[in-house]
Amino acid sequence: SQTIHQWPATLVQPVGSPLSLECTVEGTSNPNLYWYRQAAGRGLQLLFYSVGIGQISSEVPQNLSASRPQDRQFILSSKKLLLSDSGFYLCAWSVIRVNTQYFGPGTRLTVL
Amino acid sequence: AQKITQTQPGMFVQEKEAVTLDCTYDTSDPSYGLFWYKQPSSGEMIFLIYQGSYDQQNATEGRYSLNFQKARKSANLVISASQLGDSAMYFCAMREPPSNTGKLIFGQGTTLQVKP
């Protein structure tokens, strides 16, 4: 069966510090991968998606970036965090023709 | 542009009763998919149910059913026999074209509280 992992679960970082959130999927090949951000009590905002290794599409201009160095690994990064980057970050995967997205447990990021 | 609307910010339901969570959508694409997710306080998004635009019958998964009214562009979630564990935030979502990306757009969510 497929599983998706995200780490860390929680993170507190100062403004201006770098960020690296990692997401890995097990039990499937060539998945589509997604990064979302959720503000408290709000809906999900799609940040990036990837349909293959090295293929990254950005949905919202910001100081975040994403990379997919391996088929089942998706990384969200920032060189310098802003206060507005605080939120709950969710990674998800899906496969073509099914399209149901399955989510990881999420990372709660607080920028101080 | 595609859009998902959930007009109920919060709902209450008595334990063991049924509840309907509203979702309307807007799209010009004849092929689309509709999804419902549950987000408990832990934060994880849990997939509940899926309805394809060409499906003839309403989707059902255990106590969850999707009341799909294509002409009205609505895809309401019905939870039967509510349980305390159903208390959570619920999101309606729609698949965006092109379908090979699997991108979803989400509504703003409805918070459901089940009363004992």
Q: Read off the pLDDT band of B13 (50, 70, 90).
A: very high
What's the pLDDT tens digit per position in A83-102? 999 999 999 999 876 779 99
Query: What's the mean pLDDT in A10-38?
Result: 95
Partners of B33 on chain A (C-beta within 8 Å) are 99
Partners of A46 on chain B (C-beta within 8 Å) are 103-105
Coil vs helix vs strand at B87: coil
- Residue A105 has, within 13 A of its CA and on its CB side, a CA count of 8
What's the pLDDT tens digit per position in B33-60? 999 999 999 999 999 999 999 998 999 9
Distance to chain B for A53, nearest Cα, Å? 14
Q: Do A57 and B101 touch (CB under 8 A)?
A: yes
Residue of A46, A28, A58, A57 lying closest to A90 (CA atoms): A46
The rounded distance, in Å, linking the Cα atoms of A68 and A58 is 13
- pLDDT > 90: what percent of chain A? 80
Residues of chain B whose beta carbon is less than 8 angstroms from a beta carbon of chain A are 33, 35, 37, 42-47, 50, 91, 95, 99-109
Distance to chain A for B60, nearest Cα, Å? 15
Coil vs helix vs strand at A88: strand
Partners of B43 on chain A (C-beta within 8 Å) are 88, 90, 105-106, 108
